[in-house]
Amino acid sequence: MTTWIVSDLHLCAQRPAVTQAFLHWLHAEVATAEALYILGDFVEVWVGDDILMDTAYGAEFVPIVQALRRLSDQGVRLFFMHGNRDFLIGEAFAKACGMQILPDPTLLMLGEKRMLLTHGDALCTDDVAYQQFRAQVRDPQWQQAFLAQPLQARRAFAEQARSQSAQTKATQTMAIMDVNAEAVATLLRAYDYPDILLHGHTHRPAKHTARVDGHDYERWVLGDWHETAQVARIDQADMRLTTLTLR
Chain residues in the site for Mn ion (CB under 5 A) = 41, 83-84, 201
Nearest residue (CB) to Mn ion, 84 versus 230 = 84
Print the SS3 string covering 68-88.
HHHHHHCCCEEEEECCCCCCC
Torsions phi, psi for 113 (to 5 deg): -90, 145
Q: How far is the CB of 179 from Mn ion (least distance, A)?
A: 12
Per DSSP, helices labelled H in 172-247 are 181-190
Torsions phi, psi for 136 (to 5 deg): -65, -50
Q: Which residue is nearest to Mn ion (CB)?
A: 201
Q: How far is the CB of 105 from Mn ion (least distance, A)?
A: 14
Q: How far is the CB of 119 from Mn ion (least distance, A)?
A: 6
Nearest residue (CB) to Mn ion, 18 versus 33 = 18
Nearest residue (CB) to Mn ion, 164 versus 236 = 164
Distance in angstroms between the alpha carbons of the first and the last residue of the chain: 26
For the chain, what is the radius of gyration of the CA atoms? 18
Nearest residue (CB) to Mn ion, 72 versus 104 = 104
Nearest residue (CB) to Mn ion, 38 versus 76 = 38
Q: How far is the CB of 46 from Mn ion (least distance, A)?
A: 12
Q: How far is the CB of 137 from Mn ion (least distance, A)?
A: 13
Output b/e per residue, 224-237; b: 16+ Cβ within 10 A: bbeeebbbbbbeee
